[in-house]
Amino acid sequence: MMPDLEEYKWIIPDFVWELDELIDFEKLLKALPDADDLARLLPDFDKIGDSLASLKGFLSPGSPGETAFRATDQGYDNDKQFKKVSDKEKIDQLQEELLRTQLKYQRMLERLEKENKELRKLVLQRDDKGIHQRKLKKSLIDMYSEVLDILSDYDASYNTQDHLPRVVVVGDQSAGKTSVLEMIAQARIFPRGSGEMMTRSPVKVTLSEGPHHVALFKDSSREFDLTKEEDLAALRNEIEIRMRNSVKEGCTVSTETISLSVKGPGLQRMVLVDLPGVISTVTSGMAPDTKETIFSISKAYMQNPNAIILCIQDGSVDAERSIVTDLVSQMDPQGKRTIFVLTKVDLAEKNVASPNRIQQIIEGKLFPMKALGYFAVVTGKGNSSESIESIKEYEEEFFQNSRLLKTSMLKAHQVTTKNLSLAVSDCFWKMVRESVEQQADAFKATRFNLETEWKNNYPRLRELDRNELFEKAKNEILDEVISLTQVTPKHWEEMLEKTLWERVSTHVIENIYLPAAQTANSGTFNTTVDIKLKQWTDKQLPNKAVEVAWETLQEEFSRFMTEKKGKEHDDIFDKLKQAVREETIKRHRWNERAEDSLRVIQHNALEDRSISDKQQWDAAIHFMEETLQSRLKDTESVIEDMVGPDWKKRWLYWVGRTKEQNIRNETKNELEKLIKCNEDHPAYLANDEVTTVRKNLEARGVAVDPCLIKDTWHQIYRRYFLKSALNHCNLCRRGFYYYQRHFVDSELECNDIVLFWRIQRMLAITANTLRQQLANTEVRRLEKNVKEVLEDFAEDNEKKVMLLTGKRVQLAEDLKKVREIQEKLEAFIEALHQEK
């Protein structure tokens, strides 16, 4: 009575055919009952057939028995009616006996399958422990799933579409899609909620056979033991977290696919994709485009001509309320790749007034859609804590007692998720065999086109994909960072000293030198200088010096990163280098202890007043002259802007003065007269002097504000003071001899030269200290930060996609993926032929 299974040998792995090496089947056969004993267990079908035939002939219209009955009296008619009732009861009894026999053998078959499953599990476990020394090959379904994973990331910009088969699970929200998937996977692996949308992104589930019931994600090495409730809870939580992370802000669902593999004894090998449930109305809390997004996701998967559509319909609700059936009929109008599944049949049978309506649904008469097959399943009593085993028992018990089977509305192979799983798996592998070679040829043609395009556009460049380009750029960046260690100490110190003086010169001139120069004698000058230098060193100078050193390091680092290397320079790395530089600078922090040690060094340098030789004296004079000339030049420029062009520029360039500039010019002339009258005038104008200048200007018809007079005086006096200081500086060129004698018996005083020598020496010592910190500590820490940034970028694919862009990169990426897909498809086809 068993069917011929020769055509299905490819379903069973190789090791099953080697079971005779491990199990003594002769002893097993002797222990089983013989054919005669089995025959006694069966009912006499010949007698049952004869009885049914005689009853049919006896009860058929126009038979001799009926004619004979008509000739009898009324009492005999009553007896005839009684016999008809008895015959009907006999038919019902025979039908029930036939159904019981069928269920009996169904249980026997299930028991044998269970024993087979245990034996296969035992063999797989022993194989894992190394009893078989043969090398285990990757399973067919795993090879196929890898191809689909690569295709999900592939941007088919060259009209190479993904037409490889997979089982697409679609249905209305809360129709039972997830429950059907869990029954097929034999584990409660998906998060669930009462009426809430739980499937927020496509979930690709690869089912395969294995010795242990486990699940794992494609991007993780952790295995979840599906026989343990804590692992199941952790898996459901992980899936929910991944779904929520994949959903962008302001959206409800995501197009990003979550890839999951489930292995276990007795699982049918296939790839299923669970899609978000189709909704009719957008409720509160959802994005406005949620309905359209779900439709577009469903259509994108279903429009694959080789995809098997598993259409899930809730049997407990009116068929007319279904949305998904219209969508499926649009995508597969002939029903050549659609399998229709009616869920919650137990509720449907209980609530539907007419059982024929369920039959019409199952047979597809209530819908415009057509299908390859129609199935009815029960996925539990609505309790989320039910185990898979209890649901199976309930499903089997329900269909044993269901009117749908007793009245032959459904056939035995159309019920239970087990039969559904077998049918879907058969359909899946049939579709794979029919289409996989055609897809391999399509990718082969795409590969040829891409290789031709590369040769034409980039004949002298290697085909480096994004990861390979990143590694090349990484090496270049590390080489450039190492170049920082090759900068000479002299170059560092010159840059540091120059930049530091640019930053502090204004403070030294305006807040230290000018106020001290207004004092009456040298003693007061030195006291004022010492106090202000001490305050400056304690509060501002060390911090300013560290800032300068960090900015100098940044400038040198940026110079090396942006410097073009001649013909070898590849501008494709520019964005990446800039991002690495910015992120490194953001992360780098100068050593906190540097300021404390620097403060002590600067304080000691500024306290020293001992100029040891004439060369240092002349260097200090030169430094002071350069500083004062620079300030004088700036002051002259400010005055020129205030008073406008002089007579020469007015005649040569044909420009004039504004009204305010004329007033400023008159004020300037009046103030210059005041300084000529008193060359030792202090830095500030007295109130009576301001009044005098204003009245003199008004006498000439120039109305002027006192604030304008003071503002103009500040610049005029500053110019006068800087010129006087330069003249004094020139006089001090021969003052080193007097300095050594502490200016005894001399009217010449050169305390300002000593001040600038102290500043110059402090700058040199600070630059030297900062250079040591750079070379010994900060450059190495910067290099470490660069490596950390590069490691972080290497793990962030989105960052690499954003920073390494262009046609060349995309072409190399497509070429790499197409080659990988083609090679894996060819390996899969070879393995498929070997198994067949």
Instruction: Kindly report the number of other CB atoms within 10 A of residue 352's CB atom.
Output: 16
Selected residue with higher pLDDT from 359 and 254: 254
| pLDDT score, position 747 | 65
Token output for 75: 């009492």
| pLDDT score, position 130 | 46
Highest-pLDDT range among 108-122, 127-141, 370-384: 370-384
Contact, 778 vs 553, CB < 8 A?
yes
| pLDDT score, position 19 | 56
Task: Report percent pLDDT > 70 for the chain.
Answer: 79
Selected residue with higher pLDDT from 659 and 119: 659
- In the block, residue with structure tokens 């050169």: 750
Residue 125: which pLDDT band, with cuts at 50, 70 and 90? low
Tell which residue, 798, 781, 636, has the closest CA to residue 248: 798
| pLDDT score, position 157 | 41
Token output for 146: 């890898």
Residue 113 has pLDDT above 80, yes or no: no
Tell which residue, 622, 617, 626, has the closest CA to residue 722: 626
Residue 300 has pLDDT above 70, yes or no: yes
| pLDDT score, position 484 | 83
Which strands sit side by side in the sheet containing 167-171, from one edge to the other? 224-225, 214-217, 258-264, 203-209, 270-274, 167-171, 308-314, 338-343, 373-376
Query: Average pLDDT for residues 707-726, to the nearest whole number?
Result: 90
Over residues 669-706, the pLDDT tens digits come to 988 888 888 888 888 888 888 899 889 888 888 888 88
Helix, strand, coil percentages, rounded to 5, for the chain: 65, 5, 30
What single DSSP character describes residue 746? -
| pLDDT score, position 63 | 43
Residue 145 has pLDDT above 90, yes or no: no
Residue 133 has pLDDT above 60, yes or no: no
Token output for 359: 């039959």
Packing angle, helices 466-483 and 807-835, rounded to 10 = 130
Which alpha helices (DSSP H) does 510-613 contain, by range? 514-517, 522-539, 541-562, 574-587, 594-607
Residue 195 has pLDDT above 60, yes or no: no
Query: Average pLDDT for residues 788-797, to the nearest whole number?
Result: 90
Residue 651: which pLDDT band, with cuts at 50, 70 and 90? confident
Residue 633 has pLDDT above 90, yes or no: yes
Return the exposure string of 449-487: e unless at least 16 CB atoms fall within 10 Å of the residue's CB, then b.
Answer: ebeeebeeeeeeeebbbbeebbeebbebbeebbeebeeb
**What is the Cα gyration radius of the chain?**
47
Residue 835: which pLDDT band, with cuts at 50, 70 and 90? confident
Over residues 154-176, the pLDDT tens digits come to 644 444 457 888 899 998 888 88
Contact, 374 vs 364, CB < 8 A?
yes
Query: Average pLDDT for residues 572-581, to the nearest whole number?
Result: 89
Contact, 708 vs 664, CB < 8 A?
yes
CA dihedral 700, 704, 706, 711 (to 10 degrees): -110
Token output for 610: 């001992």
| pLDDT score, position 364 | 59
Residue 295 has pLDDT above 70, yes or no: yes
Over residues 71-90, the pLDDT tens digits come to 334 444 444 444 445 676 77
| pLDDT score, position 74 | 44
- Distance between CA 534 and CA 762 in Å, rounded? 13
Query: Across all residues in the chain, what is the average pLDDT?
Result: 80
Over residues 733-775, the pLDDT tens digits come to 888 877 777 766 566 778 888 899 999 999 999 999 999 988 8
Q: How far is CA 666 from CA 678, 679, 693, 698, in A?
A: 19, 20, 10, 11
Over residues 609-631, the pLDDT tens digits come to 888 888 999 999 999 999 999 99
Helices (H) and strands (E) in the chain, counts: 33, 9
| pLDDT score, position 134 | 37
Instruction: Kindly report the number of other CB atoms within 10 A of residue 791's CB atom.
Output: 11
Tell which residue, 99, 169, 203, 204, has the closest CA to residue 343: 169
Query: Average pLDDT for residues 302-317, to the nearest whole number?
Result: 87
Over residues 394-437, the pLDDT tens digits come to 888 888 888 777 776 778 888 888 889 999 999 988 888 888 88
Min mean pLDDT across 9-23, 180-194, 519-533 is at 9-23
Q: How far is CA 510 from CA 130, 534, 538, 619, in A?
A: 86, 16, 18, 22
| pLDDT score, position 766 | 93
| pLDDT score, position 11 | 54
| pLDDT score, position 73 | 43
| pLDDT score, position 289 | 87
Selected residue with higher pLDDT from 118 and 597: 597
| pLDDT score, position 34 | 59
- Distance between CA 500 and CA 505 in Å, rounded? 8
Task: Report percent pLDDT > 90 for the chain.
Answer: 17
Residue 280 has pLDDT above 90, yes or no: no
| pLDDT score, position 769 | 93
Residue 135 has pLDDT above 50, yes or no: no
Q: Is 312 helix (H, G, I), strand (E, B) or coil?
A: strand
Token output for 482: 């190492």
Residue 59 has pLDDT above 80, yes or no: no
Selected residue with higher pLDDT from 158 and 239: 239
| pLDDT score, position 438 | 86
Residue 10: which pLDDT band, with cuts at 50, 70 and 90? low
Over residues 319-347, the pLDDT tens digits come to 667 788 888 888 888 888 899 998 888 88
Query: Average pLDDT for residues 525-540, to the nearest whole number?
Result: 90
Query: Average pLDDT for residues 383-395, to the nearest whole number?
Result: 82
Which alpha helices (DSSP H) does 614-750 contain, by range? 614-643, 647-653, 659-677, 687-699, 706-731, 736-740
| pLDDT score, position 12 | 56
Strand partners, 171: 312
Residue 526 has pLDDT above 50, yes or no: yes
| pLDDT score, position 23 | 60
Query: Average pLDDT for residues 505-516, to the nearest whole number?
Result: 90
| pLDDT score, position 496 | 92
- Distance between CA 469 and CA 804 in Å, rounded? 8
